[in-house]
Amino acid sequence: MPYVSMFRLQVRSYELDVYNHVNNAVYINWLEHGRCKMLQDKGLDYTSIIDNWGVQYMTVRTEIDYRHPLHLGDEVEVSTQIERVGNTSVTLGQKIAKVGHPEPAAQARVVIVFTDASSGRPTPVPGEFVRQFA
């Protein structure tokens, strides 16, 4: 069973658009934080995977389905988990949900590629990454 990372936040006024719901671009920031949080949960960050494994972790594709709006003061939970491990890429499933609601406000599929830190060329997904998260 893949590891699931979660964090909560409360919608802030500056994250709203003219229609008084969370602007679509804000979801991208929350998803990025979810990916950072997943690494942090295991004592890692973007620079430590360079130092430890000699690789970088790069987002190459983000797909988001927006299901329903979020509003000022809503308590939100962002979850992140691995859906698929390929040769050099990993597909992450991420959800953004209002706490207490059964359906997510948004669902995302994010593809990351591991690249060699010195050459920038795609490299196999580190075995240690797979062991810790998949």
Residue range 6-19, pLDDT digits in tens: 999 999 999 999 99
Domains of the chain: 4-133 (3.10.129.10)
- pLDDT by position in tens, the chain (length 134): 789 999 999 999 999 999 999 999 999 999 999 999 999 999 999 999 999 999 999 999 999 999 999 999 999 999 999 999 999 999 999 999 999 999 999 999 999 999 999 999 999 999 999 999 88
Contact 35, 80 (CB under 8 A): yes
What the block records as the tokens of 59 is: 């987002």
Burial of residue 44, with CB atoms counted within 10 A of its CB: 0-12 exposed, 13-18 middle, 19 or more buried? buried
Cα 134 from Cα 97, distance rounded (Å): 22
DSSP string, 46-63: HHHHHHHHSEEEEEEEEE
pTM: 0.94
Residue that is written with structure tokens 């075995």 in the block = 127
How high is the pLDDT of residue 1? 79
**Beta pairing class for 55-66 and 106-116:** antiparallel
